[in-house]
Structure 1
Amino acid sequence: MVVINISQKTEFEDTISSSDLVVVHFYADWATQCGPMNDVLEELAKQAELKGVKFVKCPAEDLPEVSLRYSVSAVPTFLLLRGGSLLDRVDGANAAELTKKINLQVSKGSNTTSAKPAAEDLTTRLHRLINSAPVMLFMKGTSTEPRCGFSKSMVSLLDSHGALYKTFDILSNEEVRQGLKTYSKWPTYPQLYINGELIGGLDIVKEMNESGELQELLPKKETLEMRLKSLINQSDCVVFMKGSREAPQCGFSKQLMAILAETDIKFVTFDILTDEEVRQGLKTFSNWPTYPQVYVKGELIGGLDIIKELKESGELLSTLKGQS
């Protein structure tokens, strides 16, 4: 069995959906511990008793959404999955522990399905869906592609207030579609819920809009610009990077942390791998296309090269203190 290289989210999803045991190594080329662990993976893949196991390598930085979903904050990290369900994990370069856990899952065989959570009953699922966001809209289609006139009108109404809401497409699940009618005692769609309570359909929401009640109930979206300004100004010195100060996830971020560690400057970090909106938006906002990015008192200082230049010129400390 060969080790599979995956760098696309769709490939990842297809691979982990297998009924076979799948062992995924999240790695980074710049992390020295990942090389030897890749060798370990290659050796395990050759073992006859593990011929039914799929071994996979994924560059953590290329799959930020997947890394976030499975809380991969450092490399190497290993996930053991079957049928899309996480069975176990190993954080760090621990070949013995990894081998032990793989053999344990193999020995369980078909019994590993017992590790999957029990299916929710419909009432529990509906309650969870209704309370999955402060404002929840059950509709036909999505907010970007409504599939009926009533749903389209409801979305337009909510968007006109800049409301922050989440949607569920009842066309995608017949059980939810029929079950919610009974659960809420409301026979039509769309249905709007606020803080877990049914508000009603389009007619009710229109009436509330005309009376001014709706606007008072709806939480407003924070624009991306507002959010970026808030993040940039959360501390006198803010670093946007890949990973955290304890576990940088790229070579440039790692070098920057080493330089800043030599100063007595207090700073906070934001992991741009955990939020694609911030990751892309900040490039435009700051007119700076790469990471890491360092801000002092709300102003962009620059990336790693600028910080290195400031260190060499002796201006780094004063710049980080906002004195120049």
Structure 2
Amino acid sequence: MGNLKEIKSKAELEEAIHGVTPIVVVHFSGSQCEASRQIDQVFSQLATDFPHALFLRVDFEGKREISEAYKVSKVPYFLFYKDGKIVETLRNTNPSSLANKIASLAGPTNLAGPAAPASLGMAAGPTVIEKVQEMSKESGSSSDHQNPTPGLSRYLAGRVKQLIDSHHIFLFMEGYPDQPKYQSSKTVVDVLHKEGVSFGSFDVTAEDEIREAVKLYSNWPSYPQLYCHGSLIGGSDIVVALHENGELNSVFRDHGFDGGSSTTGVADSVTGLSDKLMSRLKDLVNAKPVMVFMEGKNDEPNGYSENSIIGILQEERAPFETFDVLLDEEVREGLKVLSNWSSYPQVYVKGEFIGGFDIVSEMHKSGELTRLLSEKQIIMLN
């Protein structure tokens, strides 16, 4: 394959990056890493799909001098170059992410007729689609986000995860499903309607903070972004390719979604929470501008986390009220579903779940909690 090459030296790599081919994708792979071996199959297929781009493979273990020069410490790792300048990096093993990043640089608009991708102009050919399905079974719905995302506060990461996990199928888009602002968002909405699935959505143009946070969370630079059970499926190119090949429904099933209601943590049919309990929980989280659900009372907290949360809010001079979840098992278990958060304490600001001890503590240290409380007009800054 003429556009897929094994790199033997640092000089050869630099020459290729600055050569005549404007789009260059570098994959640092490792034979000892199972995830790297799997994604390498997708990488090879994409080299076929995008013949006008140059695909370079570097052996992470065997070419340590190259890995060290490019500050690569873990594989798989991808570098994306355009006209000799680095424009993107990718650290995860999501085949959809890899395919869409390449499509955004060397997509259909850059390809002549005879050289069109095997996927009929979309970002994923049949082999890639099969690999998406295979790898989705192994990756788990949220394994990529167990640890804090570099450059993203725990608070914002928590907010993004809350949104993604609020529905089995969730779409970050520009506009609303009935009023999309751009064709790419409209296209994905149309596909989901044709597939007959319900979904949640968020207009990223309405909140810049979330718009940028989602990009960091997903390591994905553009919108729309479609998720199923917490796992990124891809952008419009990937979604359309899967739909046109009749594989989107299979991908949904592979991610644990078999149709039906799309909402989680809210609708009784999914959560098992009664309307009466849902109403009570919503009343509780909105009872005061700041509500702390904890184990123990305000003056008798049960543990370090509860005591620390109280100290933080007192230091912020924010009025708050506490609720002892040990006294009400129904509320204790119900809130875990409502917030999609499995532990206590839980802090709510004007009805919105902010996070537990770790997130609130980090927000306090960074000044983000002060800013939030001020924006919500709970405290007044001097």
Q: TM-score, normalised by structure 1?
A: 0.31
Q: TM-score, normalised by structure 2?
A: 0.26
Larger Rg: 1
